Structure 1
Amino acid sequence: MEPTSAPRKGREGSLNNPEVLENVPGNVIPILEREFDDFDTEAGRYLDGDIEELDFIGFRLKQGVYGQRQADVQMIRVKLPFGGVSPEQMESFADVVERYAPLKKGHITTRQNIQIHHIPLPDAAKAIREMGDAGLSSREGCGNTVRNVTGDPWAGICENELFDPTPYVGAYVRYFVRHPDFQLMPRKIKTAFTATDEDRAITGIHDIGFIPRVKEDGTRGFEIRVGGGTSIMARVAPTLYEFVGADDGEYLKVTEACLRIFDRQDFLRVNRARARIKVLVDKIGMDAFREQVAEELEGDWVGQRDYTLDPFDHDEAKHAPPRPARSGAPNGDHREFDRWASSNVRKQRQDGFSAVEVKVTRGDISPEQFRGLATLMREYSGGYARTTVGQNLVLRWVRDESLYDLWKGLEALGLGDHGAQEITDVVSCPGTDSCKLGITASMGLNQAVQERVESIGLDDPLINKMHIKMSGCPNGCSQHHIGNIGLYGASIKAGERTIP
């Protein structure tokens, strides 16, 4: 059974009937123009000294605007549910980065977001409005909310998939974004949907994770895991239920019950470093937490909700490019192309098509690369792309005949390197380059390690499959806990001084 949509109600510009809501990648989150006006107003009041900094911080975090360690500049975190992004949005990123970001780059995160750094507050208000024109949203990119919902970039095109979870990811995002009950939880909630048991979305390290399951009668659903995470208390999420229904919205209802329980735990609000749902699950155990969820689901609030799905409904196959009349091929030495194809290209289950993982060094993309990728997306893919938790970009629905031409196009942009998801594809957070919590320069270490590993010329296939991840502090934004080699920033006291 395919998910069905609920009719939209209410005046234009309201949450039930937003100005912009399209079923194309990158347009999952409803756009509300009044939020841009509110940000303009509140930012102006703060700059004029009419409101206190603490009051403004809570407001801007929910708009995805985060203070940096450098004074008077902000980071904007744009949410890309399941990593989906369109060519027009790539061009919007290029324009905003070029116009407002001094370092002239955007950054793909391990949460499949795009971050833009070092933006003065007055420009941040302009930037989020301009990106909103392209259907991009930073709403709840920060703060104690339901953060960006990540997903398997190969969902819908990979082997061994029971069903494509993408429509249900979209429904989940649309249900919980701006949910009035979950704007100030003890801490953030990170959610992941994977496509297969291979678990490329790494659901185990998330607050809430979903793995597709299908009953014998064909009913779709998910195994739901709750209570995973990294940071100072790394935990693998245990299973709450082996099966919750998908098409009937049960997975939304059970998630809401979990969040309601989490939101009431005042003991978690005392220590921000330990205010995650994994701490609650670890303290009382999954059996006790499961009992609490069952009891919560008996509450009167359930009857006040409508779990009719508002799914993300987009058929990428219809937008797949036709077979090219002419296509290029290596002339002479084809070893570099073959090496790239072996590491960066994955056959789709749909005959004649492949998915290409673009290796993006340190996750950084320049305006020229944003625009160049938009052109390649239109010409060679199904028109859209998905970011990855490894800070790369996946182009889907690429004709097999076009792989060489696409590679040459990527090479011209400086994005044609082989080794996606290999040992030279080093992952790191921004660290002290911008983050207030950073202790060490993880981006600089990333560059040094990558250059050293590349200089060795490793050719052992097992070593090449290793992953190196580094974070600028113990919080683990680069997911260093699950790297084969994981590094994180720490400090020691030496007399009156702190040494990173």
Structure 2
Amino acid sequence: MSEQDIFIRQEDFDRLEQAIQDYQEGRIDHNSLVAERLMLGTYGQWQEGLCMVRSKLPGGRVRPRQLLGYAEGLENITCLENVHITTRQDIQYNNVPLEETPALLRLLAKHGITSREACGNTVRNVSGCPMAGFCPREHVDVMPHIDATARYLIRNPLTQSLPRKFKISYSGCEADCAQGAIQDLGIVATRKEGREGFKLLAGGGLGPHARQAVVLEEFIEEEALLPAIEAVLALHDKYSDRARRSRSRIKFLVERFGVDEFVRKFREEYARTSAAFDNARAPRGEWRQAREDALVCGHGAPRQVMPQHQPGLYAVPIDVPGGDLTAQQLRGLCALLEREGHSELRATQDQNFIVFNVPEAGIEPLADGLKELGLGLPRAGTNVVACPGTRTCQLGITSSRTVAKMLDGGSHDLTIRVNGCQNTCAHSEIADIGFFGKGKRHFGKLIPSYAIRLGGSGLAGGAFGFPGPDIPAARVPMAVKRIQEAFEEGRAEDESFFSWSRRQGAGYFEELLADLTQVREFELSMLQRDHGESAVFRVQSSGVGECAGAHTDPLDKLLLDIAYERNLRDAFAAKSKYKDAAESLANVFALAGQALLIAAGAEDTTPDESELAQALAEALPDDNEVAEGFAGLYEQFADWRTGLDELVYPGLVEKADAWLKSARLLCRTLQARRKEQERKKSAQEVA
């Protein structure tokens, strides 16, 4: 199967198109439509009928000519103004009419751009240090590992219906510029006693319950990487809380189990995934001697022209104001890069681009060309990132993007991150100065406000920002300016904001900003409107965003589990590990039996192994062939399991797969019948 076949399949777009039509004609419910949308990177906005469509760029890599595909999308879809670079190195559209999403996805696919699993409860875009392959400090170019991970996990049955989304990052050295501390799984290249491998961090995450990742393994060999990733995902899939979406990220497993038990359970899963893994599939990187005296890339991206490890060549960051690009800019940037002979371009975590292999003599012509496009090299003060906020997000409380345009990080280029709610998609917890939006009452009136976080860093040795005071939104620019001035005046020579702010402590900032936090009654009329808004502020968040994914039918999840166990079964058998293959085949039978019982509406869907055949016979009186087929097949399996005869195994598996095909078809038939009955009942209740 080619890479294109893995990431892009036309039947995906056909299914989405059919789901939209079925929804509009009342044949499926909203949740069923959401499930189809999210799998193809399409979120609903708070504006009725409009969507955000996100493409997926592993490691942020985008070919210059793919910029033309993004431009075509803007030119061919109704009312689109620009694309937007995200903090996970993706590129997305906003305000796409629902009925036009299949056409946009097909257009992007023609340019080799996928959106598969860019949203929903799947493995999101695998991010990485944007200097991978070019950084003098790196031990290894991690782009081959990023690509291999993305290929290994996409469409994998294990990852199609996780309890919640799962984020992975790769860094090529211990500086960890990809910020593994905030990831579900952070992977950091390292060396130990002359051996080459990776350090694993797990259980990190931002939002209202921010948690820094813990060390899962100090060192694993390169060939162990993919089965280790699979083991963490299996742990998440098996134990994370599916009932409470707000507590179903893997960071809550660390909290629930404790670090030692979490690590023990990971190793338990790893014993199984590594036993099944074919080492021929392991990615192999080109390891080199790291230059520890070289510049550190920085918070997700460099802010200056960086010398590469390739002699005489440079990496040049491109400042993209607000992370937004028009069709004209996309076409112009493609033409500029091709004219200057540059083929390596990546999106970065600070919502910018970076281009590589630029000779010193080519930096100025590139900068001049960027300036003509309204772009340029980063300048001090522009390191400001914002989430969409109330512009499009269902959870947005404040207009974060509007206020972000008013902020400047000053001559020291402080990192400023602005979020429209507490979910911190813009990474306010790891910024020099971070904000997240909220509503706060003064004299009974709701005022758009921001909570401040100070002194955060996602790099190795960093920490989450500590809380500062709450500030009315109208005063945020004044607060930033005052903090900058205090830093300039009070810092020691070469002292970072991270060190200075922690030396001052939270009390210092409470006092520094005290007058900005106070609201007097006569000031209410001046503070009740958010930036860019004429109406009096009110919290319009729907309270239910789609980041938590769509509800998964238990039957659908069981069918995915069956597919995953079949894959393991075949992997074990290929390595002549028939005892392990037998365990997976037993799991397949148990899961298939449970799926049939659920589809048939049985009261007891988890009978003992010895009672499963009888339970199926009772639950499926009109489908004796499937029930009786299970009984006979399971008896053959039990006999084979006592001796594990490898000559008998192929015939047994062939029969099992033929029966599974019939069982799956029956499950789908019964499921469709049940859903139609539910739809008719709902229609009658409405009438």
- How does the TM-score come out when normalised to structure 1? 0.82
- 2:196 counterpart residue number: 220
Alignment of 1:478-493 (within 5 A): 478-492=426-440
- Counterpart secondary structure, 1:389: coil
- 1:243 counterpart residue number: 219
Alignment of 1:42-81 (within 5 A): 42-81=19-58
Distance across 2 between alignment mates of 1:19 and 1:39: 21
Please say if residues 40 and 125 of structure 1, whose CA atoms lie closer than 8 Å, have aligned partners that are also in contact: yes
- 2:633 counterpart residue number: none
Structure 2 residue aligned with 1:468, among 413, 416, 420?
A: 416
The aligned amino acid for 1:277 is I
Distance across 1 between alignment mates of 2:263 and 2:185: 14
Q: 1:152 to 1:58 in 2, by over 3 A?
A: same
Identify which range, 142-151 or 44-53, moves more after superposition: 44-53
Structure with bigger helix share is: 2
The aligned amino acid for 1:476 is T
Distance across 2 between alignment mates of 1:343 and 1:229: 25
- 2:680 counterpart residue number: none
Q: 1:354 to 1:19 in 2, by over 3 A?
A: closer
Q: 1:136 to 1:481 in 2, by over 3 A?
A: same
- 1:448 counterpart residue number: 406
- 2:281 counterpart residue number: 309
- 2:323 counterpart residue number: 363
The aligned amino acid for 1:259 is L
Q: 1:83 to 1:57 in 2, by over 3 A?
A: same
Please say if residues 493 and 499 of structure 1, whose CA atoms lie closer than 8 Å, have aligned partners that are also in contact: no
- 1:413 counterpart residue number: 373
The aligned amino acid for 1:137 is T
Q: CA deviation at 1:418?
A: 3.5
Q: CA deviation at 1:115?
A: 1.0
- 2:174 counterpart residue number: 197
Q: Does residue 272 of structure 1 match 2:256?
A: no
The aligned amino acid for 1:286 is V
Q: 1:496 to 1:427 in 2, by over 3 A?
A: closer
Q: CA deviation digits over 1:104-162, x for unaligned, max 9?
A: 10000001011100011121110011101111110111101000000111111111211
RMSD: 2.2
- 1:99 counterpart residue number: 76
- 1:155 counterpart residue number: 132
Alignment of 1:56-455 (within 5 A): 56-100=33-77, 102-217=79-194, 219-246=195-222, 248=223, 250-265=224-239, 268-299=241-272, 302-309=274-281, 311=283, 344-380=304-340, 382-419=342-379, 422-450=380-408
Q: CA deviation digits over 1:231-266, x for unaligned, max 9?
A: 0111111110011222x2x11111111111111225
Q: 1:307 to 1:286 in 2, by over 3 A?
A: farther
Please say if residues 416 and 433 of structure 2, whose CA atoms lie closer than 8 Å, have aligned partners that are also in contact: yes
Please say if residues 381 and 396 of structure 1, whose CA atoms lie closer than 8 Å, have aligned partners that are also in contact: no
Q: CA deviation at 1:381?
A: 5.1
Distance across 1 between alignment mates of 2:193 and 2:282: 26
Please say if residues 377 and 384 of structure 1, whose CA atoms lie closer than 8 Å, have aligned partners that are also in contact: no
Q: CA deviation at 1:444?
A: 0.3
Q: CA deviation at 1:283?
A: 2.4
Q: CA deviation at 1:45?
A: 1.6
Q: 1:297 to 1:424 in 2, by over 3 A?
A: closer
In the alignment of these two chains, the number of paired residues is 433
Q: 1:493 to 1:264 in 2, by over 3 A?
A: farther
Distance across 2 between alignment mates of 1:256 and 1:19: 20
Q: What runs of 5+ residues in structure 2 fail to find an aligned partner? A: 287-301, 447-536, 540-687
Distance across 1 between alignment mates of 2:172 and 2:276: 31
Q: CA deviation at 1:282?
A: 2.1
Distance across 1 between alignment mates of 2:346 and 2:282: 21
Distance across 2 between alignment mates of 1:345 and 1:137: 30
Distance across 2 between alignment mates of 1:143 and 1:202: 22
Distance across 1 between alignment mates of 2:378 and 2:208: 34
Distance across 1 between alignment mates of 2:324 and 2:370: 15
Q: CA deviation at 1:362?
A: 1.0
- 1:330 counterpart residue number: none
Q: CA deviation at 1:304?
A: 4.2
- 1:24 counterpart residue number: none
Please say if residues 3 and 151 of structure 2, whose CA atoms lie closer than 8 Å, have aligned partners that are also in contact: no
Please say if residues 61 and 143 of structure 1, whose CA atoms lie closer than 8 Å, have aligned partners that are also in contact: yes
The aligned amino acid for 1:117 is N
Q: CA deviation at 1:58?
A: 1.2
Q: CA deviation digits over 1:74-120, x for unaligned, max 9?
A: 11010110000011211100110222152410000001011100011
- Counterpart secondary structure, 1:220: strand
Larger Rg: 2
- How does the TM-score come out when normalised to structure 2? 0.60
Distance across 1 between alignment mates of 2:137 and 2:225: 22
- Counterpart secondary structure, 1:212: strand
Please say if residues 87 and 383 of structure 1, whose CA atoms lie closer than 8 Å, have aligned partners that are also in contact: yes
Please say if residues 480 and 486 of structure 1, whose CA atoms lie closer than 8 Å, have aligned partners that are also in contact: yes
The aligned amino acid for 2:242 is R
Q: CA deviation at 1:19?
A: 7.1
The aligned amino acid for 1:273 is S
Please say if residues 383 and 414 of structure 2, whose CA atoms lie closer than 8 Å, have aligned partners that are also in contact: no
- 1:20 counterpart residue number: 4
Q: What runs of 5+ residues in structure 1 fail to find an aligned partner? A: 1-16, 22-28, 315-341
Distance across 2 between alignment mates of 1:252 and 1:191: 12
